């Protein structure tokens, strides 16, 4: 999904009881999208797509055999989108809905669930109470269980609820341990930083974007040159709907720091959803400059050119989409749009 805006699906389920007493207002808005495996580009069938927001009962749908989903009945505004599939990391995002015009299709790529690298807390932090070391190790085990442990498989099914619960417990443990880890040597400072990064990850997986953002802000303040943390913070800003902050931080980074065109695609799509097509085109240009072989950049730039009423430019981009990925969902849409431009 090209925005990336994330809230846990279990939060949505928990809020269902709170929102059930509200009037269920339905609008004429529509969202549609497709879900593929990031590594293979193959469609992911049977993925659960949960759409929530605007004090209404969440909409839940599933992808079909081609990985495509559609949802109807939304009012104007920003809606949260959560995509969950067995064996993949849960993807969280959001999209703006207008009842007056159709939103562009949301292209989502799921990454396989992986086990995060552990932090060697036993080394380099002597004079730290044993309970602190144990707390950090327990937190790492909880985070490992949140994505499944391929070593010594316990047979536990990894659900969104388990991810949120384990991550919340891990965050509590890490937040308590962090102040007790010294930073008086370079090695200890490095370990302190690693654990703070782990804490940001735990908050993120627990669905607490505010604390995850604050933790990354603290890390970046301590090391402004850390482009990895800066990019993570950019993504969190975007996922939280803080487009201004995300754009400002992204523009501070050196060009070479961004190697993944998805970063620019995410920003461009957010601008596109906000009817700011001129800004969107600028970021799609950057995405294409990084990888001119991917059809997505041309596809979304073509949609932006249509908003700007630049038919010739839009036609060129949609033609490129068909040329690069003739069998893709983008190409199908592009052919339809090209037919309308003739």
C-beta separation of 51 from 18 below 8 A: no
Letter string b/e over residues 184-206, b meaning 16 or more CB atoms within 10 A of that residue's CB: eeeebbebbbbbbbbbbbbbbbb
Whether residue 214 has pLDDT greater than 90: yes
Domain 258-341 has CATH 1.10.260.40: no
pLDDT one-digit tens code per residue, 173-195 = 999 988 888 787 777 777 788 88
Residue with tokens 């970021």: 283
The domain spans of the chain are: 9-110, 130-207, 258-341
- The residue among 220, 169, 224, 163 whose CA lies nearest residue 196 is 220
Sequence-ordered list of residues with C-beta below 8 angstroms from that of 277, at least 6 positions apart, any chain: 271, 304, 305, 307, 308
C-beta separation of 325 from 318 below 8 A: no
- The residue among 220, 208, 277 whose CA lies nearest residue 250 is 220
| Stronger pLDDT, 97 or 91, i.e. the higher one | 91
Question: What pLDDT does 156 receive?
Answer: 53
pLDDT one-digit tens code per residue, 101-135 = 667 788 888 888 754 444 454 444 555 677 877 88
Q: Which fold has domain 9-110?
A: Immunoglobulin-like (2.60.40)
Question: What pLDDT does 315 receive?
Answer: 94
Residue 28 in tokens? 């004429």
């Amino acid at each position: 999904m090209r925005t990336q805006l994330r809230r846990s699906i279990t939060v949505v389920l928990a809020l269902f009881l709170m929102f059930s007493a509200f009037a269920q207002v339905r609008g004429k808005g529509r969202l549609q999208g497709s879900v593929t495996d990031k590594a293979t580009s193959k469609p992911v069938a049977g993925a659960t797509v949960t759409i929530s927001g605007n004090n209404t009962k969440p909409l839940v749908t599933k992808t079909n055999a081609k990985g495509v989903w559609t949802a109807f009945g939304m009012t104007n505004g920003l809606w949260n989108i959560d995509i969950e599939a067995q064996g993949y990391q849960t993807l969280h995002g959001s999209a703006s809905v207008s009842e007056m015009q159709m939103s562009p299709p949301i292209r989502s790529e799921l990454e396989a669930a992986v086990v995060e690298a552990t932090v060697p807390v036993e080394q380099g932090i002597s004079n730290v109470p044993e309970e602190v070391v144990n707390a950090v190790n327990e937190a790492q085990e909880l985070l490992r269980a949140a994505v499944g442990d391929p070593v010594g498989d316990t047979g536990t099914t990894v659900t969104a609820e388990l991810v949120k619960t384990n991550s919340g417990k891990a965050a509590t443990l890490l937040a308590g341990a962090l102040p007790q880890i010294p930073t008086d040597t370079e090695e200890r400072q490095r370990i302190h930083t690693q654990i703070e990064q782990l804490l940001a990850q735990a908050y993120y997986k627990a669905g607490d974007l505010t604390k995850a953002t604050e933790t990354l802000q603290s890390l970046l303040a301590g090391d402004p040159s850390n482009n990895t943390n800066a990019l993570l913070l950019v993504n969190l800003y975007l996922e939280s709907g803080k487009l201004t902050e995300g754009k400002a931080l992204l523009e501070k980074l050196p060009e070479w720091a961004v190697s993944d065109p998805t970063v620019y695609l995410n920003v461009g799509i957010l601008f596109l959803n906000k009817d700011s097509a001129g800004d969107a085109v600028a970021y799609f240009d950057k995405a294409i400059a990084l990888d001119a072989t991917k059809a997505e950049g041309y596809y979304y730039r073509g949609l932006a050119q249509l908003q700007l009423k630049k038919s010739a430019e839009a036609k060129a981009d949609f033609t490129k989409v068909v040329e690069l990925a003739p069998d893709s969902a983008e190409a199908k849409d592009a052919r339809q749009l090209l037919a309308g431009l003739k």
